[in-house]
Amino acid sequence: MITEQAGDDAVERDTEAVTAFIERFAGVLGESGFPRMPARIFTALLATDNGRLTAAELAEGLQISPAAVSGAVRYLTQVNLVGREREAGSRRDRYRLHNDVWYEALVRRDQMLVRWEDSLREGVTALGPDSPAGARMAESLAFFEFVREELPGLLSRWHGKRAELREAGGR
């Protein structure tokens, strides 16, 4: 996999264990609907200490083509999980995880929930609220409204929990 530098000291890792983890976790993401190659690249970035890798490092570390990296990174940037930055004085792009990536993913999911709710409202109207299909749409709508209402409180509690974890870990 990828050798990282932590200041002047190389971080020692079991390459086989890291590679196995990346493939396993990418598989779990894939089973959840995440496209395979973006899942591998996302997990590789997640498994680096600084959360940043170049396309060449990703291609070499995952043993994939530069075209596969390009397509996967394009997907990851579209769903706002990864950003692109240019190294100072270089033409090479470095891909990085967004800070607090899971939190940001859920915040963006909130925007998607609004769109789902709007579509479900249309479905309830089109199907009729008293029909079995309309009732099913209405229950789906109520579920997503509930999730969206609860999400801010959940995310706020996460910030408190994260602060506790960082204090306990000295980070």
1 pLDDT above the threshold of 60: no
State pLDDT tens for residues 89-117: 777 889 999 878 888 777 777 788 899 99
Read off the pLDDT band of 36 (50, 70, 90).
very high
CATH number (3.65.10.10, 3.40.50.1370, 1.10.10.10, 3.40.640.10) of 5-97 reads 1.10.10.10
Indicate left, alpha or beta for 89 from its phi (over 0: left) and psi (-120 to 50: alpha): left
User: Would you list the domain boundaries of the chain?
Assistant: 5-97, 101-169
Amino acid at site 87: E
Q: In what order do the strands lie in the sheet with 82-86?
A: 52-54, 93-97, 82-86
At 6 the pLDDT is 46
Quick: pLDDT tens for 70-83.
Answer: 999 999 998 889 99
Taking the mean position of all CA atoms in its chain, how far away is CA 57? 20
- 41-73 pLDDT, tens digit each: 999 999 999 999 999 999 999 999 999 999 999
pLDDT of 170 > 70? The answer is no
What is the pTM for the complete model shown?
Answer: 0.75
